[in-house]
Amino acid sequence: MATIGLIVNPAAGRDIRRLTGGASVVDNYAKRRVAECVCDGLTVAGEPVEVLVMPDRTGIADHVVAKAPEDEGIDATTLEMPIEESSADTRRAAARFRDEADAAVVLGGDGTTRDAALELGDVPLVAVSTGTNNVVPAAVDGTVAGAAAALVATGTVPADAVTTRHGTVEARAETPTGERRLTGLAAAEVSSKSFIGTRALLDPSDLRGGVVSQAHPGNIGLPAVAGALEPLSPIDPGGVAVRLTDPDDAPRCVRAIVAPGVTATIGVASCERLEPNESATFDVPDGVVGADGERELELTDAMVELTPVPDGPRLVDVDATLEAGARTGAFEVAPIDEPRTE
């Protein structure tokens, strides 16, 4: 029986950017519904599937287990693990899935997807957007996501044919007290703000630059700034390094979506492509290094090296998976016999 790991982050999509910008609220009721739809989608494979659900204290996992369509072969159980109500929960569950699951479905934003990806190893990942910064997770219906995960997990569609490696950005900071490290999925950013605070990067004037693993004007945050000048698809190797400055002093300026509901004119001092494992260096006299729109490391008198790394999570292309399933006849079932007429 194929096994699918399901991670639903209760905190995703609920940070301060709902108050300061136009980000939509994704409450726990909506997440329960999406997760329930994922389980319904698993039935498309036509085979029994085991679902391991990350536990939480908001009732999401309990709801998913209670609503799973057992009569159609979906056996859902909650993982036995401690709950800290932090990113450690996602990482702990993903580490279990690395050894126990054939595919994983993660509901959250870039931060949740990153936390899961750091522990999943080679397990194919279907990332569903229910967060704030959503450069990597796709805005896909939960039922469709579940169907794709089931096709990959059961081997109906070969994973190698419909998955790609998404790059990450490694941040290494040399400080007077030693080395500190951080991994970003879509981006690692350098901010002049000297404290973490609410964690969310809110004021574009605080952003000094960084390195992104993909860039498009339709992204959010630093990937949108980079994408306005140097687009980079998720399957392109390397990254883009962007250094920002005051728009009044900048050689180039762009309009970009810096947060949900927030656009701004950004001054760009430089924007350049980086090869895989090629680093860009930033001096940080007093500031913060963030990942995927969230401030993480408070630094003083530090030198930060940001490097695009090619071997990131193994992401499932949902559309390609369903198309491959159709070509192999995965959705065909035996005709229903018409009732006899006397």
For residue 201, the model assigns a pLDDT of 56
Mean predicted lDDT score pLDDT of the chain: 90
Give the pLDDT confidence of 95-118 residue by residue, as tens digits: 999 999 999 999 998 889 999 999
Q: What's the pTM value of the predicted model, to 2 decimals? A: 0.88
Q: How many CB atoms lie within 10 A of CB 298?
A: 18
The first and second tokens of residue 150, run together, are 């089931």
Give all strands of the β-sheet with 178-184 in edge-to-edge order.
178-184, 168-175, 294-309, 280-291, 187-191, 207-212, 239-245, 262-274, 252-259
Domain ranges of the chain: 2-165+312-327, 168-309
Provide the percentage of residues in the chain whose pLDDT is more than 70. 90
How many other CB atoms sit within 10 Å of the CB of residue 64? 24
Would the pLDDT of 16 be above 60?
A: no
| pLDDT tops 60 at residue 324 | yes
Query: In angstroms, rounded to a whole number, what is the distance separating the alpha carbons of residues 249 and 33?
Result: 49
pLDDT at 282 exceeding the cut of 90: yes
CATH number assigned to the domain with residue range 2-165+312-327, chosen from the 4 options 2.40.128, 2.120.10, 3.40.30, 3.40.50:
3.40.50
In this prediction, residues 315-335 reach a mean pLDDT of 94
H or E element, residue 303? strand 294-309
pLDDT in tens, 313-323: 999 999 999 99
Residue 130 confidence class, pLDDT cut points 50, 70, 90:
confident
Written as one string, the DSSP assignment of 91-153 is: HHHHHHHHHH-SEEEEEE-HHHHHHHHHHHTTS-EEEEE-SS--SSSB---HHHHHHHHHHHH
For 222-274, write each residue's pLDDT tens digit.
999 999 999 999 989 999 999 999 999 999 999 999 888 889 999 999 999 99
Is the CATH code 3.40.50 the one for domain 168-309?
A: no
Amino acid at 243: R
Report pLDDT digits (tens) over 163-177.
Answer: 999 999 999 998 888
Q: Is the pLDDT of residue 2 over 60?
A: yes
CA distance 128 to 137: 5
One fold for both 2-165+312-327 and 168-309?
A: no
